[in-house]
Amino acid sequence: MSDYDFDVIVIGAGPGGYVAAIRAAQLGLKTACVESRATLGGTCLNVGCIPSKAMLHASELYDEAASGKLAKLGIKAQVELDLDTMHGQRRDAVKGLTGGIEFLFKKNKVEWLKGHAAFIGKDTIDVAGKSYRARNIVVATGSNVTPLPGVEIDEKVVVSSTGALELAKVPGHLVVIGGGVIGLELGSVWKRLGAKVTVVEFLDQLLPGMDGEVRKEAAKIFKKQGIELKLSTKVTGVTVKGDKASVTVEPAAGGAAETLEADAVLVSIGRRPNTDGLALERAGLTVNKRGQIEVDHDLATAVPGIWAIGDVVPGPMLAHKAEDEGIAVAENIAGLTGIVNHDVIPGVVYTMPEIAGVGLTEEEAKERGEVKVGKFPMLANSRAKTNHEPDGFVKVIADAKTDRVLGVHIIASVAGTMIAQAAQAMEFGATSEDIAYTCHAHPTHSEAIKEAAMAVTGKPIHI
Ligand code: FAD
Ligand code: NAI
């Protein structure tokens, strides 16, 4: 009889870990998943993707009614914000989905080991005072908020994304530190619900890592929406008095300081990997300078039998990247060939309009060689125009010699949905011509991708 308790133990039940555990069980491996949270689903389902999208969706509908956008369509409504109910539907969404993972664990016979896991040795962990031995251990412990030195997060006045999802009333003035994905999504929620929102960003543009033209256009759109942007600005201190905060800022390059009075302050300057309390050293594992566990192409760590996936390893901190790595790691453990194409991972910012990209930015593509770029404005797309969604554009970047698509970047109301076809095209090695000659249904926002692809080597029809 085997002296292993399990073939696979996964540590962490976020989108990386729970997917890895289910796939491993589906492949016939005896599998357990350790989770210290009271519910499964990790950051994404509990305090990330899902609750933020619940608030983004509800606040968008409120804004459409309250700002008079619906009235312009001939829909007159008396609008009143019931924030408690809005929070209630957010909690319901989280409860339904986290409960769904518990159901899937039972269905697939994945055992949930409740508690915090720490390594005892390279194939043994401790959970709540009991030790478990496994042939394979997958570290999928995710990430948490990066603190800002000298600024204490109390989750009441100075909040992380978790507190910002749950504010009991609309703040008069919300100061957001960090103009990245979280700052813009949650800043948008509270702006729509009536807050004044100021985003303080250290760099000279929002959304680092995204295509340069997209970043500039996004800044214009957010300003037009009334979000105040303080770019190239650093926060030098936050003082809390009662239920108010004073945020002192100054130009990043140095200069006169300014104080912003705020009812809430959101700290969203990035996330860092979770490895505290894991006792990695007992397994012979180390972390890199950024606190991440390094893995090879197969998601194997330097220690045989230990694997790592998701936010705790290098790469974009995204749920779908973690999920795909979860499937791949389980397949590799089972002796199959699990692959994640890290060159084709879409990223979406779920503001209105949405901002999405896949592959290389124009700047990155130009560094590697000659490129051709095709662009098409959403203003000239019949569906976007009919829906009164004129902002944004589609940009297709292709290799000048081979015409192979290297990157696609979109600002559009449904950019997050549109980007899927670009990712699929790139996964299949498509050229811009392949996209241009693919029949797209009319009238859809996706036709803008076809027209941007037509613009790479020739001319679009509608502009
Ligand atoms: P996590 O989801 O962080 O899960 C790790 C789990 O491991 C946690 O539940 C933790 O409790 C548990 N754990 C950690 N250490 C231990 C231990 N020692 N023992 C036991 N359990 C442990 N991504 C998107 O793609 N789309 C989005 O729209 C999106 N929105 C987001 C919104 C917000 C506000 C935030 C904060 C993040 C968002 N993300 C989004 C990012 C996404 O949530 C993460 O990329 C994703 O959750 C990473 O998955 P993971 O499995 O690696 O880790
Ligand atoms: P981020 O990395 O997206 O943005 C952080 C921003 O803060 C950057 O613009 C950075 O320049 C700025 N910054 C850093 N230090 C600063 C300082 N001292 N003062 C002012 N600005 C400063 O990180 P964010 O928004 O916290 O999100 C964390 C992660 O969560 C992201 O990596 C993202 O992948 C994931 N996420 C994904 C979402 C999605 O896919 N829609 C939604 C929310 C989060």
- 463 located within any domain: no
* Domain shared by 258 and 229, yes or no: yes
The Cα 337–Cα 316 span in angstroms is: 22
CATH number, domain at 127?
3.50.50.60
* Domain shared by 21 and 100, yes or no: yes
* Domain shared by 370 and 445, yes or no: yes
Cα(426) to centroid of ligand 2, in Å?
26
Residue 187 corresponds to which tokens in the numbers above? 């800043």
Q: Which of 284, 367, 297, 369 has the alpha carbon at shortest distance from 328?
A: 297
What does the mean pLDDT of the chain come to? 97
- Mind listing the pLDDT tens digit for each residue in 401-450? 999 999 999 999 999 999 999 999 999 999 999 999 999 999 999 999 99
- Kindly tell me the sign of the dihedral angle through the C-alpha atoms of 342, 343, 344, 348: positive
**Domain-ending residue, one of 220, 247, 269:** 269
- 411 located within any domain: yes
- 77 located within any domain: yes
* Domain shared by 176 and 235, yes or no: yes
Average pLDDT over residues 367-390: 97
Average pLDDT over residues 48-77: 97
Contact 408/422 with Cβ under 8 angstroms?
yes
- 217 located within any domain: yes
* Domain shared by 164 and 299, yes or no: no
- Which helix (H) or strand (E) covers residue 124, if one does? strand 124-127
Judged by its nearest atom, the ligand closest to the C-alpha of residue 267 is 2
Cα(143) to centroid of ligand 2, in Å?
13
Question: Could you tell me the pLDDT band of residue 386, with boundaries at 50, 70 and 90?
Answer: very high
- The residues carrying an active-site annotation are 442
* In the predicted structure, residue 393 carries a pLDDT above the cut 50: yes
Q: Give the domain range for residue 265.
A: 158-269
* In the predicted structure, residue 179 carries a pLDDT above the cut 90: yes
Question: Could you tell me the pLDDT band of residue 2, with boundaries at 50, 70 and 90?
Answer: confident
Residue nearest to atom 12 of ligand 2 (CA): 178
Q: Count how many Cα atoms sit within 13 Å of the Cα of residue 410 in the half-sphere of its side chain.
A: 32
Q: Annotated binding site, which residues?
A: 53, 141-143, 178-185, 201, 270, 311, 317-320
- 425 located within any domain: yes
Cα(318) to centroid of ligand 1, in Å?
8
* Domain shared by 36 and 124, yes or no: yes
* Domain shared by 222 and 308, yes or no: no
Average pLDDT over residues 282-310: 98
* Domain shared by 11 and 124, yes or no: yes
Measured N-to-C along each axis, helices 447-457 and 415-427 cross at an angle, to the nearest 10 degrees, of: 50
* In the predicted structure, residue 249 carries a pLDDT above the cut 70: yes
* In the predicted structure, residue 1 carries a pLDDT above the cut 50: no
Q: Which residues line ligand 1 (CB under 6 A)?
A: 11-17, 34-37, 42-44, 48-49, 52, 116-117, 140-143, 161, 182, 274, 277-278, 310-311, 317-320, 322, 350
* Domain shared by 30 and 81, yes or no: yes
Average pLDDT over residues 132-146: 98
Judged by its nearest atom, the ligand closest to the C-alpha of residue 12 is 1
- 1 located within any domain: no
Q: Is the pTM of this model over 0.90?
A: yes
Q: Annotated binding site for NAD(+), which residues?
A: 178-185, 201, 270
Cα(311) to centroid of ligand 1, in Å?
7
Question: Could you tell me the pLDDT band of residue 458, with boundaries at 50, 70 and 90?
Answer: confident
- 341 located within any domain: no
* Domain shared by 67 and 31, yes or no: yes
Note the ipTM here: 0.99
Q: Which residue is associated with the tokens 């180390």?
A: 286
* Domain shared by 318 and 360, yes or no: no
**Domain-ending residue, one of 231, 249, 269:** 269
Which of 18, 35, 43, 313 most suits a substitution to test ligand 1, by most atoms within 8 Å of the C-beta?
43
**Domain-ending residue, one of 311, 333, 355:** 333
Cα(139) to centroid of ligand 2, in Å?
23
Q: Which residues line ligand 2 (CB under 6 A)?
A: 148, 177-183, 185, 200-203, 208, 234-235, 268-271, 316-318, 348-350
| pLDDT given for residue 54 in this prediction | 98
Residue nearest to atom 24 of ligand 2 (CA): 270
Q: Count how many Cα atoms sit within 13 Å of the Cα of residue 365 in the half-sphere of its side chain.
A: 27
CATH number, domain at 403?
3.30.390.30
- 151 located within any domain: no
Q: Please provide the DSSP assignment of 333-402 as one string.
A: HTTS-----TTS--EEE-SSSEEEEEE--HHHHHHHS-EEEEEEEGGG-HHHHHTT----EEEEEEETTT
* Domain shared by 278 and 139, yes or no: yes
* In the predicted structure, residue 122 carries a pLDDT above the cut 80: yes
**Overall number of domains in the chain:** 3
